[in-house]
Chain A
Amino acid sequence: MSPKTTAKAETTQNETTQNGEVVVASKNAFLLHLVCGLGLAVAFWFAHNIYAVNLVSDPAQTLYLIWVIECPFVIIPYSLFRWNPEKCSFLKAVVRGFLGLPAGALLNTFGAIVLGAPVGSQYMKRTINWSLLMSLFTVVPAASVFGSSWKDWQRLFAYSKPTGVLDYMICIPAHGAAIGAWFGAWPMPLDWERPWQEWPICVTYGAVGGYLAGIVVSLGFTVMYGGRQQHVKGD
C-alpha cells in the first residue's frame, strides 16, 4: 500500500481484498466519526467564542463558519478511506470531495426550495450556506470515497442498502442528516413567535441532530458488523 494511506492509522488495520477495495476496521470507523464530530464541535465553539455569532443572531455567517471549518474534518478522513486506493491517489480523492461540495449544494437547494424554503434575495445567502453545510453531511463523504461510480451511489442513496462498514459510515449519517432536517422543519408554521422558527435555523438544528444520531447508529452497526468480520478473520 502507498505510504499515504498509513498516515492516519497507527497500525495497518485496513486490509484490501483481491479487487483492491478497502475493508474498514471498526477502530478506524470510530476514529473517523470522532474526527467529524470533533470538527462540528470546534466549528460551533469557534463561531460562538471567536466571532460571537450563533445561529439565531446571524444564521448566514454562522453557517458559513461551520461549513468552512468542518470541511477539512470531513474531506480528509473520508479521502483516506477511498474505495480504490491503488487507482486513485489521496489528492485526487480530496479534489473529488471538493467538487462534490457545490454539486451536493445544488441538490440540497433544489430539495429545500421544492419543500417550501423561502425564495428571495434576503434568504439567498442563508440558503446557500445551509445547502453547502448539508452537502458536507450528505454528498461529500460519498464523493470523496466513491467518486463518480454510479453503481455505488445508486446502491447507497437510491436503494439505501449499505453492505459494509464503509457503506454504513457514509450512508447512515447522510440519511440521518436529511431526515433530521425534514423533522426540523416542523416547528416553522407554528405561531409560537420564537426567533429560532425562521428559515434555516430549526432545520439546521434538526440536520445536525440527525447527523449526530446517524453517527451513533452507524457506530452501532460497525460494532455489530465489524465484530463479526474480525471473528471470521480470526479463523
Chain B
Amino acid sequence: MTENGNHGGSSYEETDSLALFIGLKSKILTYTSATQNAASQVDMASTLALLFGVPIPKNNVGVLMPEVFGSLTDDQWLRALELNSWQLLRLLQAQLSGLSQQSFPCNDSSYEQSSEFTKCVGQVEQKFCHFFSKATVLHSSWKSKKGQTIRSINGDDFRNAVKAYDEFLRIASEWLSRRATDKPLNLLTSGVAAMFGSSMIMLRLLFLLCKQVFFAEKQYLPNVNKYTYNWDLDELFVLGAILIVVLGMGSSSMVEEEQYIWHFMTSTLYLIFLRRTIQSVPAGPAPFILNVFNGKNCSNYSRASSVILVLICGRILRGWHQGGVNWTHLPDISKWLEQAGSHSIKSIQIASILAIISLWSFLLYSLRSKRGFILVVQAMFLISGLLVLLHTMEYQDHMFAASGYNNTSIAQIVYASLGVTVIVTAVASPWVMYYSISKTRSNGKPCLMNYFSIANGIGSPLIELIYSSYLTGLAYTASWCLLQLLLQQPINALPILLIFLQTLSSLVYFSTGGIQHKLWVEVAALYFLGMAGHFGLGNSNTLATIDVAGAFIGLSSHSTLFAGILMFMITFASPLLLLLSMVMHTSMKDMRNLSVSQDADMGHLLLSTIAFPSLVPLSLNSILLTTFTVVLLLMRNHLFVWSVFSPKYLYVCATTASVYAGVTAVAATGIYKCLVFALLMRNSNGSIRNPR
C-alpha cells in the first residue's frame, strides 16, 4: 500500500511483500543469509509446489527459491531442480518453435538426451539447448558416480550440476517473463504513426475545404474583410468540446461515466444555437409575443422551438437509463417503467411505432407529389411498419416457451421488405424523378415548409435530384428506425422515437433560413447527437450492456456472422441513424440554397453532398481513435486497464467501424446521385444539340 492508501497499482510500495518460511531443520547458518534475501513473486508457485510434492503449474515462469530447500538431500535437491527445468523447457517449447519437440523419459534410467538436441535451430533456441543439455549431462554424471565413495569428487560434481541447473533456470525464467511483457515496438510505432498521419491528412483536408467554402461565400458580400477567417462561438465550442472529450479519455471515471460528458457537450452546443437564434429576433416596439403569427417571425419561432425540442428530448434521453458504472442503482425512467409493469411498456412501444410511422408518412406526404413512385414507397413502408407492429404485439418477453416460428418469420419478412424498399428507393429514385413530368405544387404551411416552397419555373434536373436525394435520405432514416424498433429491447422504443425527433428537429433548424452555421459545425452537431443518443439507449463503456438477446431476432439457425452483425446494428443504432440522416440534411440544405440563389453549381453540390458529411465524422472519429490508442499505451500499468480502458478500446474500434459504414453509405449515395446527374445533364445537352 502506498502512503496515500492506494493499493492494487504497480508501484514498488504496492507490489512489495514479505515471504516467511518456517522449517524444522535447515542448513541456514548465518542470520543475514536467512533474512536478507529477495526473490520474485513468480518464484512462489514452483517453491510451494515442490515443497508440497505436487506438480509445478504448467504456465509457471518462476524458479524455486534455493534457501527454502535446506532440508533436502542432494539427490532430492537435484531432482527438484530437474523437475523445474523440465517444466520451464516445456513452456519454452510451446513458445519457441525452433526447440524440437522431445518427450522426456521421466525416470532416472536413460540419459542419452544430449544427442537428441542437435535439431535446435535459431540462436535463442541454441542457447537454451546448450544450457539444458549441459545441466543434464552433469546431473547424469553425478548420478552415475553416486555409488562411488569418493566424496570430494561427488561434492564437486554436485555443485557443478546445481550451478548448471541454476544457470539454465535463470535464463529460461528471465526470457519467459520478458516474453509476457515485451511489446513489438516496431509494429506499435508504425501503427500509431499511421493513425496519426491519416488523422492529420483528414484534418488538413477539412480545414482547406472550410476555408475555401468560407472565402467563396464571402466574395458575394461587400464591406467585409475577405482575408481573415471568422471564428464563431459555436465553432470554437465544438473544438473545445473535442479537446475536453480527448482529455477526459485519460481519466478512468470520465471513461466510465462518458454519458455525462456527451450529454453536457451536446446540450451546451444546442444552447449556443438557441442563443444564436435569439440574436435574430427583431426588436419591435410592441411585445414580440403579439407578432407570433407574423410571417417573418415565424421562421424565428420555428428555429427556436426546434432547438428547444432537441434539448428537451435530450434531457429525457439522459434520464431514461442511468448508465455508467458508479451510479447504476439510482432511479431512472426505465426502472420506473419496469416497476409499472410490462403492459405499460408494451403500450408505450406500440405508441412509439405508430408515432414514427405517422411522422415519416407525414414527411413523405409533404413532398406533395402525386407521382406513383412515391405512393409505392409509402405503401411499402406502411407494410413494413405494420409488420413491425404485429411482431411487437406477438412478442412475449417473459415466457420461456419459444415465441414461435411466426415471430421469426415475421422478422425475416421485415428484414426483406426494408432491404428491398431501401435499395429500390436509392437506386431508382433519381431516374424516376427525372423522367416523369414534374407538376409539383408545394404550398404547405409557411412556417414549417419553407424549404419546400420553391418558386415554380425551376425545371432544372437539379431540383429533381434534390427531391430524390431527400426521398432516399428519408428511406434510409425511416427504415433504420423501423429496424431498430424491431431489434431493440421494448424499453428502448421511446428513446428511438426521441432520437428520431431530435434528428428531425435539428434538420429543420439547420435548413430554415436566417443565420446559418458553417456546414462542418452542423455535421459535428449531428455526430454529437449520435454519440449522446448512443448512451441514451442504455449503452455504456462496459461489455455488460451489449444486448445479446436481440441479436438473434429473426435468425432461424445459429449463425455467428449474422448474430454479430445484428448485435453491431443494435449497439450502434444511434450513431448510424445520425450518419444516415446526413443524406436528408444535405438535400434539405440544397433545397434552401437553391431557393435562395438559383444557380446549380456542381462543385458546391459535391462538397455538400459528399465531402463534408464524410470528412467531418471521419476526422472526429480519427482524432478519438488515435488519442485513445495513445492513452491505452500510456495507461498499460494502470489499475483499471482491464476493467475500464480495454472495453472502451473495443467500443472505440467498433465506433470507427460504424462511422466507416455510415460514411460509406452516405458517400456511395452521393456519388451515385452525382453520376446520374452528370449522365442526365449530358443526355439532355445532347438532345438539345440534336433536335428531332
Give the residue of B256, B283, B311 whose beta carbon is less than 8 angstroms from that of A154.
B283
Q: Residue on A with the closest CB to B326?
A: A191
Complex-state Cα separation, A192 to B253, whole angstroms = 9
Which residues A143-196 have CB closer than 8 A to chain B? 148, 150-151, 154, 157-159, 182, 185, 188-192
Q: Mark B260-291, 1 if CB is under 8 A from A, else 0.
A: 11011001100100010011010110011000
Residues on the A chain within 8 Å of B253, using CB: 189-192
Q: Decide if the interface of chain B is mainly helix, strand, loop or mixed.
A: helix
Q: Residue on B with the closest CB to A182?
A: B268
Contact B288 A150 (CB under 8 A): yes
Interface residues on B, range: 20 to 34
B312 within 8 A of A: yes
Contact B326 A116 (CB under 8 A): no
Known: A111-B271, A114-B312, A116-B318. A150 touches B283 (CB 8 A): yes
Contact B260 A151 (CB under 8 A): no
| Contacts between chains A and B (CB distance < 8 A), count | 54
Interchain nearest-CB distance for A196 vs B (Å): 16
Residues on the B chain within 8 Å of A192, using CB: 253
A50 within 8 A of B: no
A7 within 8 A of B: no
Which residues A102-131 have CB closer than 8 A to chain B? 111, 113-116, 119-120
Contact B267 A158 (CB under 8 A): no
Complex-state Cα separation, A185 to B319, whole angstroms = 17
Complex-state Cα separation, A158 to B283, whole angstroms = 12
Q: Residue on A with the closest CB to B314?
A: A114
B251 within 8 A of A: yes
Known: A114-B311, A115-B268, A182-B268. A189 touches B260 (CB 8 A): yes
Contact A113 B268 (CB under 8 A): no
Residues on the B chain within 8 Å of A150, using CB: 281, 283-284, 288
Contact B267 A114 (CB under 8 A): yes
Contact A159 B279 (CB under 8 A): yes
Give the residue of A120, A154, A182, A189 whose beta carbon is less than 8 angstroms from that of B279.
A154
Complex-state Cα separation, A141 to B257, whole angstroms = 37
Residues on the A chain within 8 Å of B312, using CB: 114
Q: Residue on A with the closest CB to B285?
A: A150
Give the residue of A154, A188, A190, A191 whose beta carbon is less than 8 angstroms from that of B281.
A154
Complex-state Cα separation, A69 to B278, whole angstroms = 33
B315 within 8 A of A: yes
Interchain nearest-CB distance for A156 vs B (Å): 12
Give the residue of B257, B267, B268, B283 whose beta carbon is less than 8 angstroms from that of A189.
B257
Interchain nearest-CB distance for B637 vs A (Å): 20
Complex-state Cα separation, A171 to B306, whole angstroms = 27
Which residues A10-43 have CB closer than 8 A to chain B? none
Residues of B at the A interface (CB closer than 8 Å) are: 251, 253-254, 256-257, 260-261, 263-264, 267-268, 271, 275, 278-279, 281, 283-284, 287-288, 311-312, 314-315, 318-319, 324, 326, 331
